[in-house]
Amino acid sequence: MVDDNFIGNKKSVKALLPRLVEWMRNHKYPFTLYTEASLNLAEDEEMLAMMREANFTRVFLGIETPVEASLKETTKFQNLRKDLLESVKLIQAYGMEVMAGFIVGFDNDPAEVFDLQIEFIRQAAIPLSMVGLLTALPNTQLWRRLKSEGRLLKASLGNNTLADLNFIPRMDTQELLDGYRRILQTIYNPREYFQRTSAFLSQLGKGSRSPLVFSDVVALGRSLFRQGLLSNYRWQYWKFLAQSLRQHRHHFSKAITLAIMGHHFFALTAATETN
């Protein structure tokens, strides 16, 4: 469901969801859905329950940072109204995987921000954590402020996963780049990733109705071959699958999906190390 903030107009969404639930039931749940929302979704359990019934299985949240001063800097006040960890775990309890965006490079980031980001991602058990460097995009409030302060260096390439900055940060530039790489190298170390994913499956509530289809079988076969036989992390992979079968059998299809997606994040991290 393409929307920068699915719950931006709650009245309209609450009118839509019962119709969507009815359609899904009548058609035997042919789709799983995902969307993007603000973190205050966790303040509305009625909404969460309806989204679960409509077969939403994943939601992207812009968490950005666990540093309160940096959230205030970005005017993300909705992320300050409720404990961040509690919010994430509540959404997961409704059967929805939380994907999240994180950013480092804010003026108010302390020296320990990298450890804080790693620890939050670990405690929240968010397998797919998109961590990027702060980027100043043209004609944004950030861009105008940095321009007035003489801190802009060049136009943004629009990719905040590159170890490159288009402005002069408050933190030492090399310290920021090294810390950013360290976050990625830590959270997408295969052992760390699979442990975090197992923790996520443990706290994922009952949710999606996802019948097995032929493409799922094909994807599983490819994963078993490429990740289970050819990868340099195959032992962690097999351990994860075995644990998922023992402890999270009802979420096994989700485990396979996340194992496959992890492979691509491992590759992205390796590419970032060379930039």
Domain-ending residue, one of 150, 176, 203: 203
Average pLDDT score over the chain: 93
pLDDT for the residue 153: 93
Tell whether 61 and 183 lie within a shared domain: yes
Please report, for the domain that includes residue 166, its CATH number. Answer: 3.30.750.200
pLDDT in tens, 29-70: 989 999 999 999 999 999 999 999 999 999 999 999 999 999
Same domain, 199 and 227: no
Q: Examine residue 170 and state whether it is found in any structural domain, yes or no.
A: yes
23 shares a domain with 115: yes
pLDDT-derived band at 112 (thresholds 50, 70, 90) equals very high
What's the structural domain count of the chain?
2
Q: What is the pLDDT of residue 118?
A: 98
Average pLDDT over residues 98-122: 97
Model confidence pLDDT, tens digit, residues 207-245: 756 666 788 889 999 999 999 999 999 999 999 999 999
- In a domain, residue 52? The reply is yes
Boundary residue ending a domain (148, 180, 203): 203
Range of the domain at 261: 214-274
Phi-psi region of 95 (alpha: psi -120 to 50; beta: other; left: phi over 0): left
Mean per-residue pLDDT for 141-157?
92
Sign of CA dihedral 4, 16, 83, 254: negative
Q: Which letter, b or e, does each residue of 209-248 get, where b requires 16 or more Cβ atoms within 10 Å of its Cβ?
A: eeeeeeeeeeebeebbeebeeebebeebbeebbebbeeeb
Residue 274 Cα distances to 71, 156, 208, angstroms: 30, 20, 38
Same domain, 235 and 183: no
